[in-house]
Structure 1
Amino acid sequence: MNNSHSAPKGARTPWQVTRSVWYAMFLREALSRTMGDRMGWFWMVFEPVALVAVMVGIRSFVRGGNLIANAEFIPWLIAGMMGFFLVREGMMRGMGAVEANRSLFAYRQVQPIDPVLVRNFLEGALRSFVFLLFIGGGLMLGQDMYPDNAIRAMAAWLSLWCLGLGLGLVTSVSATLVPEVGKIVQMLSLPLMILSGVIFPLNNMPHWLLEYLMLNPIPHGLETLRLGFFENYKVVHGTSMLYFWLFTFSLIAMGLLMHLRFVDRLKAK
């Protein structure tokens, strides 16, 4: 006679339930992101292409020489832009994730943090694919887009992905509870791109100003990503991945704590 108290046959563990939820939400988000908007793929590729074309035109008009020491301008610009867009989209997509999936919270298995995590993963995967397209396209056009240190470049890319996750976790709570936060974040997007050294090298800035600009973690990740592409590239003074990761871990921890603390308000709002 078997007296074992095993779980009922067919019962799933919490991890299996969570994994099923993430998988279903990923499919839903992926179809919505890639098929729902016919122009979605176009804008993901066209935005960086248009910005590169504008910046190359400005550079050619202003001065013909190289702006960047030990790095070609176009690959330098593409690496910076794609890294910044990875962070920006992680933050912006996370910000609207809770509101867009509110109807799913009727199922007790779905928590407000789930759509944020799923959206960040999907956005990172799409941005990685677009970046690979740019690298392939650049190589075919004769640009030096092949990374000198592929491991460093991939590590910096994943680091920027994690920073986008941390920002997304924080903004998903704050913008849902206080809608004005979302408007402020959207307004800061363009200035943040300029102040992060995406389109102009920060090395040209005065030292007193650079000290304040480097409080922003994004340039630390972008400069390390560029160093992965150009081995002899002179990174901005003060670049530190230790600072970057301390900032990123703090954001992720704060975002997780905010989701725990306000989970009922996020579901009820």
Structure 2
Amino acid sequence: MALDLLLIGLAITLFPLPVMAFVLVVASPGGVRKGLVFIVSWLACLVAVIGIVVLLTGGQPPAPRSPPSTAAKAVTLVIGLGLLGYGTYRLRRVRRGAMTPSEDADASASAARTREDGGSAAPGPDAGASSAPAAEGPEAAEASGESAGPHGGVSLWSAAALPLLLQPWGMVGAAGATVVQADLSDAGNVVVLVLFCLVATSSLLAMELSMVFAPERAHPALMALRRWLTRHKEPAVIGLCLLLGLWLVSRSLYELTG
């Protein structure tokens, strides 16, 4: 369980779309406070999923090969297949030229220029998707600046809502299926769950702390990071989905057939 949750947590924290949105949040006026709201909302989603699973299991893992245990492994298998399918779908779109990094870069640059001029940004040519399989709308909103407040910044309400929209729910669902194995009577399992939440939030925490202690250096560095992610978003999304999906499928098949 520990290794599975660590890998899922790493995939969640490296997923580029929430990182890109968080940069906009902390770069806006009052960004440190809004970034904290974003992180609290992000953590609340993770804790809610873990809490629901723990309530269903009573904090005790089901017996091996029991119906609940088999169902959890089957869910993990389905999510893994979904991640593989989603990564393959995006890879084919990139190869067909339907989705290119340059288009995303042009859309973000156009949105930034529009906000600077005081106008409203238009959606970019590719809305993308925030997770596998999640809706494509949140990314379009983030890229086009639709979550911006009246003065071109990000409101507190938007900062709280963005994690709900941009959370890679497919990966979080895989974590929930893995948490079924957690035994809360074992302190080590509790530590693993806490570490999972911290790992899955580590990229956001690092950016928030950099803005708190070194805002002058952090701001241009974060904006450069966002520009880099805009150009390399597709390979990152595809790679994370395919690698994590392959791990989940192989692990669940081994456990189901072993």
TM over 0.5: no
Pick 1 or 2: higher relative contact order, CA cutoff 8 A, min separation 6.
2
TM-score, length of structure 2 as denominator length: 0.36
The structure number with the bigger radius of gyration is 1
